[in-house]
């Protein structure tokens, strides 16, 4: 087990390193950072001043290694745009993203699991078809469009919920639904598949033969088996949510990590972009590792190799 | 993806606007005497010297003052923090300062504030973001408590315009202690509004400054509170204004603005901006398209673009046709010597034929653009009608500029806002005075522009600029097209005027 954990942590390190190199190269390929920072109308002398001030006149490899060396010591430098320490900026924003990710995950589980169970129990029936429609719609509908529809209905027409901001819990309702709905289908499908398999297994048949109620058979015996892969999936989806809420955070003006990532890419603020990508890639790998370990703990038959 | 998002969102806004036709009372902001305004860009700092976004300019005018004030209607320069000024020589301006002005923290305004601000911003090591706003200042010296001299590094007659715009005055004692960081966190100016809260990246709250000096040109605000939120998504801004959570937004695309006209509690107003649109050519010997070295081809292009039709159908009714690469109200933007190129496809085809093109000999060229894609596409259609195949290369501004400066762009659909500076030195020279974006490099034009930029005699400047603008058009080094417009959407109860410099004068606004 310890060896497995160390191996996965090593993988996390390599993934993070690879992501940081990739993001550094892509950001540099997208144009001259000094020109972007200097702004519209800046002349060559202004751009050269920016280049020198920010150390952008050094060879790329030197810039990267310098950044990496500092990052290894926990210093992610200063934002080129906001002129303040990167870690301070990230610390200010990460809370919003974590709240949004967790509420969205909870929403997806709250909708996905019951729908998955119902569609397995009533396989081929109306409930199954409705659930399928919900799943297909969730995956096919672009989340920005769904978000705008929610805003128009609940904020503009009915005036029940605020359009944007993050001041109260009410501000998180629409973003949670918009983001959570998008990741609901995978949960629904995996629960349905697991339930269909479980309902045909001997132990479920035995439970039925013992005269247990249908609800008890489904919820206690079958569902506990079907939920095992949900844990792993939740870990993966949470990782995606942490990094994948850029559009939703922008639409709802939630001042989180996703919006910060968008801003930093727009302003070619590479210290911020690098730090966010590094953190997210590490978080993603660690979350999948945690999910695997929890899986092994829930179901001892799964051996961790 | 972005276009799809935009298209869906726009149609959604229009439909919702129609659906909501009967909603709303327009009383939301009026009740608590608060204008709620949203802007899409987040300034990196709200110290006016440390950002280069428009909201920074707007905040600079709201919370700070300048030595000189330009009347936005007459364009006449008047004293603001300075009572009067005079040029002592080509590189020295002396200001007599107004007494009785107080900064928001109670600090009294005097010569020390001007001296400290000028000396601070003129030093490159202090890293003022937009260097063009300050890199002409050598420094300042105090003559007495209310008299100060500003020294210029070079002859720069447009100094007056800059001193009436981006060069705001900071309180020296506070700024020395707080620095740009402290000024961003707890800003102190002298303007008609005081900043009482700044949450970085989210919002700025301002209240009217009741002690605002009556002679400063702006006047005490009529509406007590102003809240500015940074909302990056345009559709969110539109939804907020429809839901009456916002009272004022600007820069709304024309199609959405038209849709919002159906909402009774909103006012939609179009306003001209100082941003001009033109086609710029690379006519250099080593330029990517040899055909563009032929003046007849460039003139043909000028005759092929249906400017009036584009203004009517794509730009907006407040836009105006321009005949020189500058904004008409800018000092020195005299197009009287510039030949006109009326829309005349037949003449354009004749010029092309005269230049040896037509039949099998055709021109294929890339046209680079970074905004108003629909206008670029209209230009491409017009060029096709005279036998030029133009392929659109659409990209971000920084990327396009990099390509232009590397000499790889034969033809660019350019726009230029002059940073709202009402002087030709902030527009035409950028593209024709052998600076990095000059892809024509005409020495005669350069010399005339240099004369206009460096002479302190207004008549000499005007004449030099007029000649330069005439030569640029005679040689068809660029095709000036039109000014752009922007749309403002506001609470129907709010009374406001629009100005080409795109600075909403919140201090002038009233409730109906």
* Least confidently predicted of B12-26, B96-110, B191-205: B12-26
CA distance B398 to chain A (A): 5
pLDDT of residue A301: 65
CA distance B23 to chain A (A): 8
Identify whether the C-beta of residue A97 lies closer than 8 Å to the C-beta of residue A258.
yes
Q: What is the dihedral of CA A63, A67, A72, A78, to 10 degrees?
A: 160
| pLDDT (average), residues B158-176 | 95
Express as a percent the part of chain B with pLDDT over 90.
74
Choosing among B201, B265, B414, B453, which should be mutated to test the A contact, i.e. which has the most A CBs within 10 A?
B201
Judging contacts by C-beta atoms under 8 Å, the chain B residues touching residue A155 are 239, 243
Q: Is the pLDDT of residue B15 over 60?
A: no
Q: Which residue ranges does chain A devote to CATH 1.10.3720.10?
A: 86-304
Label residue B404 by pLDDT band (50, 70, 90): very high
* Least confidently predicted of A3-12, A59-68, B497-506: A3-12
pLDDT of residue A244: 66
| pLDDT (average), residues B187-195 | 97
The Cα A226–Cα A116 span in angstroms is: 10
| pLDDT (average), residues A134-139 | 84
Label residue A247 by pLDDT band (50, 70, 90): confident
pLDDT of residue A43: 72
A25 touching B, CB under 8 A?
no
Identify whether the C-beta of residue B468 lies closer than 8 Å to the C-beta of residue B428.
yes
Choosing among B14, B239, B393, which should be mutated to test the A contact, i.e. which has the most A CBs within 10 A?
B239
Q: Is the pLDDT of residue B329 over 90?
A: yes
Judging contacts by C-beta atoms under 8 Å, the chain B residues touching residue A31 are 396, 398-399, 402
pLDDT of residue B441: 96
Q: Which residue ranges does chain B devote to CATH 3.90.76.10?
A: 65-200
A259 touching B, CB under 8 A?
yes
Please spell the DSSP secondary structure of chain A, one letter per residue. -HHHHHHHHHHHHHHHHHHHHHHHHHHHHT--HHHHHH-TT--HHHHHHHHHHTTTTS-HHHHHHHHHHHHHTT---B-TTT-SBHHHHHHHHHHHHHHHHHHHHHHHHHHHHHHHHHHHHTTTSHHHHHHHHHHHHHHHS-HHHHHHHHIIIIIIIS--S-SS-SSSGGGGHHHHHHHHHHHHHHHHHHHHHHHHHHHTSHHHHHHHHTT--HHHIIIIIIHHHHTHHHHHHHHHHHHHHHHH-HHHHHHTT--SHHHHHHHHHHTT-HHHHHHHHHHHHHHHHHHHHHHHHHHHHH-TTSPP-
Task: Give the A window 135-164 contacts with B, CB below 8 Å.
Answer: 142, 144-145, 148-149, 151-152, 155-157, 159, 162-164
Q: Of A49, A252, A253, which has the smallest distance from its Cβ to B131's Cβ?
A: A49
pLDDT of residue B296: 97
Q: Of A36, A144, A155, which has the smallest distance from its Cβ to B5's Cβ?
A: A144
pLDDT of residue B413: 97
CA distances from B450 to A156, A165, B329 (A): 55, 50, 20
Name, in order, each residue with C-beta under 8 angstroms of A247's C-beta and a sequence gap of 6 or more. A143, A144, A147, A258
Looking up tokens 């949900």, which residue turns up? Answer: A230
Identify whether the C-beta of residue B62 lies closer than 8 Å to the C-beta of residue B205.
no
The Cα A135–Cα A185 span in angstroms is: 4
Question: What φ, ψ does residue B196 adopt, rounded to 5°?
Answer: -105, -15
Q: Is the pLDDT of residue B1 over 80?
A: no
Label residue B2 by pLDDT band (50, 70, 90): very low
Q: Is the pLDDT of residue A49 over 50?
A: yes
Question: Which of the listed ranges A55-59, A294-298, B37-41 does the model predict with the highest average pLDDT?
Answer: B37-41
Each residue's pLDDT tens digit, B405-463: 889 999 999 999 887 889 999 999 999 999 889 999 999 999 999 999 989 889 999 99
Label residue A1 by pLDDT band (50, 70, 90): low
Residue of A nearest to B126 (CA): A53
Element (H, E) at B121: helix B111-122
Express as a percent the part of chain A with pLDDT over 70.
95
Q: Is the pLDDT of residue B21 over 60?
A: no
DSSP state of B312: I
The Cα A104–Cα A239 span in angstroms is: 12
Q: Is the pLDDT of residue B20 over 90?
A: no
Q: How many CB atoms lie within 10 A of CB A130?
A: 14
Name, in order, each residue with C-beta under 8 angstroms of A10's C-beta and a sequence gap of 6 or more. none
Q: What is the second-level CATH architecture of the domain B273-485?
A: Roll (3.10)
Please spell the DSSP secondary structure of A92-131, one letter per residue. HHHHHHHHHHHHHHHHHHHHHHHHHHHHHHTTTSHHHHHH
The Cα B478–Cα B412 span in angstroms is: 10
pLDDT of residue B18: 44
Express as a percent the part of chain A with pLDDT over 90.
19
pLDDT of residue B101: 95
User: Which pair of structure tokens corresponds to residue A24?
Assistant: 């550094």
The Cα B351–Cα B332 span in angstroms is: 31
ipTM of the complex: 0.72
- Closest among B460, B461, B465, B463 to B446, alpha carbons compared: B465
Judging contacts by C-beta atoms under 8 Å, the chain A residues touching residue B401 are 35
CA distances from B238 to A296, B41, B99, B135, B256 (A): 50, 15, 44, 39, 9
User: Which pair of structure tokens corresponds to residue B393?
Assistant: 């290369």
Label residue A211 by pLDDT band (50, 70, 90): confident
CA distance B108 to chain A (A): 30
DSSP state of B60: H
Q: When comparing pLDDT for A221 and B202, which is higher?
A: B202
- Closest among B162, B139, B185 to B47, alpha carbons compared: B185
Q: What is the second-level CATH architecture of the domain A86-304?
A: Orthogonal Bundle (1.10)
Express as a percent the part of chain B with pLDDT over 70.
95
Q: Which residue ranges does chain B devote to CATH 3.10.105.10?
A: 273-485
Residue of A nearest to B13 (CA): A152
Q: Is the pLDDT of residue A2 over 70?
A: yes
Choosing among B50, B232, B395, B407, which should be mutated to test the A contact, i.e. which has the most A CBs within 10 A?
B232
Choosing among B25, B398, B400, B432, which should be mutated to test the A contact, i.e. which has the most A CBs within 10 A?
B398
Q: When comparing pLDDT for A115 and B358, which is higher?
A: A115
CA distance B253 to chain A (A): 17
Count how many Cα atoms sit within 13 Å of the Cα of residue A81 in the half-sphere of its side chain.
27
| pLDDT (average), residues A268-294 | 82
Q: What is the second-level CATH architecture of the domain B65-200?
A: Alpha-Beta Complex (3.90)
CA distance A284 to chain B (A): 26
Identify whether the C-beta of residue A70 lies closer than 8 Å to the C-beta of residue A77.
yes
The Cα A56–Cα B51 span in angstroms is: 20
Across chain A, which distance is largest between two alpha carbons, in Å?
Answer: 85
Choosing among B236, B370, B371, which should be mutated to test the A contact, i.e. which has the most A CBs within 10 A?
B236
Judging contacts by C-beta atoms under 8 Å, the chain B residues touching residue A144 are 5, 9
Judging contacts by C-beta atoms under 8 Å, the chain A residues touching residue B242 are 156
pLDDT of residue A63: 87
The Cα B120–Cα B127 span in angstroms is: 10
- Closest among B198, B195, B130, B196 to B165, alpha carbons compared: B130
Q: How many CB atoms lie within 10 A of CB B424?
A: 29
* Least confidently predicted of B19-23, B334-338, B493-497: B19-23
Each residue's pLDDT tens digit, B207-258: 999 999 888 889 899 999 999 999 888 888 999 999 999 999 999 988 888 8
CA distance A274 to chain B (A): 19
Dihedral of CA B232/A90/B60/B320: which sign?
negative
Ranges of beta strands (E only) in B80-208 are 82-89, 92-97, 137-144, 147-152, 193-199, 203-208
pLDDT of residue B5: 47
* Least confidently predicted of A225-234, B137-146, B322-331: A225-234
> How many Å separate Cα B409 from the centre of its chain?
24
Please spell the DSSP secondary structure of B319-360, one letter per residue. --B-SSSS-TTSBT---TTSPP----HHHHHHHHHHTT-BTT
Q: Is the pLDDT of residue B120 over 70?
A: yes
The Cα B410–Cα B399 span in angstroms is: 15
pLDDT of residue B169: 98
Q: Of A46, A144, A164, which has the smallest distance from its Cβ to B131's Cβ?
A: A46
Q: Of A53, A155, A267, which has the smallest distance from its Cβ to B127's Cβ?
A: A53
| pLDDT (average), residues A267-280 | 84
Looking at every residue in chain A, the average pLDDT score rounds to 84
A36 touching B, CB under 8 A?
yes
A182 touching B, CB under 8 A?
no
Q: How far apart are the first and last CA of chain A?
A: 7
Looking at every residue in chain B, the average pLDDT score rounds to 91
């Amino acid at each position: 087990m310890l060896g497995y954990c160390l191996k996965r942590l090593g993988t996390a390190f390599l993934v993070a390193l690879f992501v940081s190199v990739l993001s550094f190269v892509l950001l540099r390929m997208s144009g001259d950072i000094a020109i972007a920072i200097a702004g519209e109308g800046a002349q060559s002398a202004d751009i050269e001043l920016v280049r020198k001030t920010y150390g952008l006149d050094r060879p790329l490899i030197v810039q990267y290694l310098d950044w990496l060396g500092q990052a290894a010591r926990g210093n992610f430098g200063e934002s080129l745009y906001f002129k303040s320490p990167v870690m301070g900026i990230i610390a200010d924003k990460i809370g919003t993203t974590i709240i949004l990710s967790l509420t969205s995950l909870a929403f997806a589980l709250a909708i996905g699991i019951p729908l998955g169970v119902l569609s397995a129990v009533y396989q081929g029936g109306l409930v199954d078809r409705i659930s399928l429609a919900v799943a297909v719609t969730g995956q096919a509908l672009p989340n920005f469009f769904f978000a705008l529809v929610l805003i128009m209905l609940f904020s503009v027409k009915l005036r029940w919920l605020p359009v944007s901001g993050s001041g109260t819990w009410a501000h998180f309702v629409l973003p949670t639904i918009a983001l959570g709905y998008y990741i609901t289908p995978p949960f629904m499908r995996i629960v349905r598949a697991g339930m269909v398999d479980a309902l045909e297994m001997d132990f479920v048949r035995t439970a039925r033969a013992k005269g247990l109620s249908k609800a008890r058979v489904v919820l206690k015996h079958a569902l506990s088996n079907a939920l095992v892969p949900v844990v792993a999936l939740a870990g993966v989806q949470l990782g995606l949510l942490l990094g994948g809420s850029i559009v939703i955070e922008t639409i709802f003006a939630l001042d989180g990590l996703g919006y910060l990532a968008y801003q930093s890419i727009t302003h070619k603020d590479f210290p911020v972009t690098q730090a966010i990508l590094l953190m997210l890639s590490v978080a993603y790998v660690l979350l999948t590792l945690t999910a695997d370990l929890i899986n092994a703990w829930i179901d001892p038959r799964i051996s961790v190799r | 993806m972005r276009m799809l998002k935009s298209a869906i969102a726009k149609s959604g806004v229009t439909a919702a606007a129609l659906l909501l036709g009967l909603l709303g009372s327009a009383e939301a902001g009026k009740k608590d005497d608060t204008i709620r305004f949203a802007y899409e860009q987040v300034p990196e700092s709200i110290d006016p010297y440390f950002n280069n976004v428009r909201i920074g300019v707007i905040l600079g005018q709201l919370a700070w003052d300048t030595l000189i004030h330009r009347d936005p209607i007459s364009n006449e320069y008047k004293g603001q923090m300075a009572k009067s000024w005079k040029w002592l020589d080509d590189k020295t301006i002396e200001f007599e300062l107004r007494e009785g002005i107080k900064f928001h923290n109670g600090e009294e305004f005097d010569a020390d504030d001007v001296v400290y601000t000028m000396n601070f911003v003129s030093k490159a090591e202090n890293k003022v973001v937009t260097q063009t706003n300050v890199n002409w200042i050598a420094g300042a010296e105090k003559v007495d408590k209310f008299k100060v001299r500003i020294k210029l590094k070079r002859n720069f007659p447009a100094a007056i315009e800059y001193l009436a715009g981006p060069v705001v005055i900071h309180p020296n004692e506070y700024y020395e202690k707080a620095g740009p960081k402290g000024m961003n966190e707890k800003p102190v100016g002298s303007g008609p509004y005081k900043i009482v809260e700044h949450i970085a990246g989210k919002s700025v709250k301002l209240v009217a400054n009741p002690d605002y000096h009556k002679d400063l040109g702006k006047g005490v605000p009529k509406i007590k509170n102003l809240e500015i939120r940074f909302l990056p998504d345009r559709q969110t801004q539109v939804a907020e204004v429809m839901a009456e959570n916002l009272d004022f937004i600007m820069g709304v695309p024309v199609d959405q603005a038209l849709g919002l006209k159906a909402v009774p509690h909103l006012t939609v107003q179009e306003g001209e901006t100082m941003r001009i649109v033109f086609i710029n050519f690379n006519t250099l010997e080593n330029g990517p398209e040899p055909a563009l070295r032929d003046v007849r081809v460039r003139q043909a292009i000028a005759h092929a673009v249906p400017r009036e039709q584009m203004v009517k159908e794509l730009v907006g009714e407040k836009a105006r046709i321009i005949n020189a690469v500058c904004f008409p109200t800018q000092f020195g933007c005299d197009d009287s010597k510039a030949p006109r190129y009326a829309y005349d496809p037949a003449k354009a085809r004749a010029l092309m034929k005269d230049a040896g093109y037509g039949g099998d000999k055709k021109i294929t060229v890339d046209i680079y653009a970074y905004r108003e894609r629909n206008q670029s596409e209209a230009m491409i259609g017009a060029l096709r009608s005279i036998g030029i195949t133009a392929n659109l290369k659409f990209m971000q501004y920084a990327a396009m500029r990099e390509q232009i400066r590397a000499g790889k762009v034969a033809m660019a659909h350019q726009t230029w806002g002059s940073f709202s500076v009402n002087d030709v030195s902030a527009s035409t020279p950028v593209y024709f005075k052998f600076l990095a974006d000059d892809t024509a490099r005409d020495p005669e034009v350069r010399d005339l522009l240099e004369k206009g930029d460096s002479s302190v005699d207004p008549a000499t400047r005007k004449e030099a600029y007029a000649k330069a603008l005439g030569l640029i058009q005679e040689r068809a080094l660029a095709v000036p097209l039109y000014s752009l417009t922007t749309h403002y959407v506001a609470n129907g109860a709010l009374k406001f005027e629009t100005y080409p410099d795109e600075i909403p004068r919140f201090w002038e606004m009233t409730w109906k």
